[in-house]
Amino acid sequence: MRTVYVNGDYLPETEATVSIFDRGFLMADGVYEVTSVLDGKLIDFEGHAVRLERSLKELDMTAPVTKDELLEIHRELVRVNEIDEGLIYLQITRGAPADRDFAFPDPDTTPSTIVLFTQNKPGLADSQAAKKGMKVISIDDLRWGRRDIKTVQLLYPSMGKMMAKKSDADDAWMVQDGFVTEGTSNNAYIVKGNKIITRALSNDILHGITRAAVLRFAREAQMEVEERNFTIDEAKEADEAFITSASTFVMPVVEIDGIAVGDGTPGRVAPRLREIYLDESRKAAV
């Protein structure tokens, strides 16, 4: 049984509760972060903490804990749940007012809700899926216009995953005005020659913490990076494709809409970036 964190308490998962009036539950009025754990240490914690602050600020929400307290809670959960490889999920909502109301409650009388739990994932780094590569389908991007805020409104991404599943694929890349935005829960990239191409940052995509690190490592390794829009057809004709996220690190994409990317294998650039990312982020883990 896991020990989880809820509003200041460490509790067995079966004893942790949140109000039925919580705005996270009623309105999807909340933000989240997913941080990976390797060797019992937190990967890119600083990046996730900074993005969390930004998400809260964009929604006029206040953080119920400081960054130092947040680090302490993450570490304590890793320790008590004996996580060597896995993930930590964190969610902060606008709390539980006395009744359902569209208007935001007064933060002085309705404190935000904070919940964290661990997910044990042995073999996260040495993943079979990364050796094989994944298949994606393309779908319309029907999400709202502030995808730069990491909110818990994940219904459309969940529907995208289900559409992928039905097509015998692993994930969906979303397309808006003819251009790929991102995957359901990851950033999307293609490789042409020695060039890594990924959509530039804007409100259209989540500003991936793994994306920032991978692009930095790529540039340091003298690889060329181009931040620009690309179409799904350009992706199908690319030499390689891949995704990044805290839960997959760097994962090759070998098929798009049933069409093999390159020779249909993970290729050269994505596996190398995965290796560099894992090496470097393990070194910097806290």
The contacts of residue 215 (CB under 8 Å, 6+ apart) are 196, 198, 225, 227
Residues between 150 and 189 that touch ligand PDD (CB under 6 A):
182, 185-187
Q: How far is the CB of 166 from ligand PDD (least distance, A)?
A: 20
Distance in angstroms (rounded) separating the CA atoms of residues 192 and 214 = 17
Residues between 32 and 71 that touch ligand PDD (CB under 6 A):
34
Segment near ligand PDD (CB under 6 A), from 225-233, 242-250, 260-268, 272-280? 242-250
| Binding of ligand PDD by 118 (CB under 6 A) | no
Residues between 75 and 104 that touch ligand PDD (CB under 6 A):
none
Q: How far is the CB of 162 from ligand PDD (least distance, A)?
A: 15
Binds ligand PDD (CB under 6 A): choice among 137, 218, 246, 254: 246
Distance in angstroms (rounded) separating the CA atoms of residues 150 and 153 = 9
Place of tokens 């079979």: 128
Considering only CA atoms, give the Rg of the chain.
Answer: 19
Would you call 89 helix, strand, or coil by DSSP? strand
Positions marked catalytic = 150
Segment near ligand PDD (CB under 6 A), from 77-85, 164-172, 195-203, 240-248? 240-248
Distance in angstroms (rounded) separating the CA atoms of residues 280 and 265 = 25
The contacts of residue 251 (CB under 8 Å, 6+ apart) are 127, 129, 130, 133, 134, 186, 242, 243, 244, 245, 270, 274
| Binding of ligand PDD by 245 (CB under 6 A) | yes
Binds ligand PDD (CB under 6 A): choice among 210, 269, 274, 278: 210
Q: How far is the CB of 277 from ligand PDD (least distance, A)?
A: 10
Residues found near ligand PDD in the complex (CB under 6 A): 34, 182, 185-187, 206, 208-211, 244-247
